[in-house]
Amino acid sequence: MAGTSIYSDIAKYLGFGIGAGIASVVAVYIRRLLARPKKMDVLQESVRMYQQIQKRLEFGCHDLRCGRVHLYEFHNGERFLSANQMFKLSCTAEAVQNASGIRDVLQCHLVSIYLPEVGVLFGDTEVPGVRVLQVKDPDGRTHEVHQVVEDVLNEGKLKTSMLTYGATAMYNVPVIDASGFLIGFLSAHFMDEKWSDPANVPGDIYLLAHVAYNVQSDLRGDGTPPVLSNGDAHSRRVTGAYRRITKGTRLLDPIDGGVG
């Protein structure tokens, strides 16, 4: 009888153990089922966000009458043997007008290969071929826009890229997150030869700052107004945000802008 009792106890404990294991597996499965819709919600939100950003870039490209408008975002890659991060940038959205699309070849580029020009976004000064402009819109608001002209750039990756894809001038606007950190930039590419002269600046380039502000809000999830063209969505915070990013950068005299 004692042996029967021992076997009975063993069977009971085994039953408890198997039952607990099955319950644990079922619980994990249920958690995964419950988490799946959340993942799909995140995916759908991301798709909608980039659809909105795409519309903004298309309006900006049309209103600026430029060849391309790109959104570049910084991200980390893997690590070097030194354990330093391989910081990279990728073109995550593109609008084109009378120009070829080049987004596919602008993925996962090391940030370091675009130095020193990309350093202007982080507040560097005195970079040949790059100027930080204060651009006034018709309502008197001032916006910071970075001018990059191929003709006066030093030899390097950026100059080669501009020559290859037909851009005579680029205008870049920093994009920052809610904490004030640089996370990317918006870039407009102009193809006409007249823009190869640094003295020639599109009169309505301030529109790029408006587009950048709204894209910045999209990436933050701030809940921005519907997509508008012709500079209707004016920024009240953009100048202060850019100044935090480009603190210490030498600014040139403001350029009087206007819709033209």
How does pLDDT run across 157-201, given as a tens digit for each residue? 999 999 999 999 999 999 988 888 899 999 999 999 999 999 999
The better pLDDT of the pair 140, 53 is held by 53
- Cβ atoms of 212 and 188 within 8 Å: the answer is no
What pLDDT is recorded for position 211?
A: 92
What pTM, to 2 d.p., does this model score? Answer: 0.70
How does pLDDT run across 21-78, given as a tens digit for each residue? 676 766 666 676 565 556 667 788 888 999 999 999 999 999 999 999 999 999 987 8
Q: Is 242's pLDDT higher than 60?
A: no
Domains and CATH numbers, the chain: 29-256 (3.30.450.40)
Within 10 A of 145 (CB to CB), how many other CB atoms are there?
25
88 φ/ψ angles, rounded to the nearest 5 degrees: -130, 170
- The H helix count followed by the E strand count for the chain is 4, 8
What pLDDT is recorded for position 172?
A: 95
What DSSP string runs through 111-161? GGGGTTGGGGGGT----TTEEEEEEE-TTS-EEEEEEEEGGGSPSSHHHHH
- Cβ atoms of 233 and 207 within 8 Å: the answer is no
The better pLDDT of the pair 138, 254 is held by 138
CA 201 to chain centre: 24
Report the alpha-carbon distance of residue 181 to residue 216 in Å, rounded.
11
If 0-12 CB within 10 Å is exposed, 13-18 middle and 19+ buried, where does residue 47 land? exposed
Which of 119-123, 165-169, 191-195, 207-211 is predicted least confidently?
A: 119-123
Q: Is 92's pLDDT higher than 90?
A: yes
Report the alpha-carbon distance of residue 79 to residue 59 in Å, rounded.
38
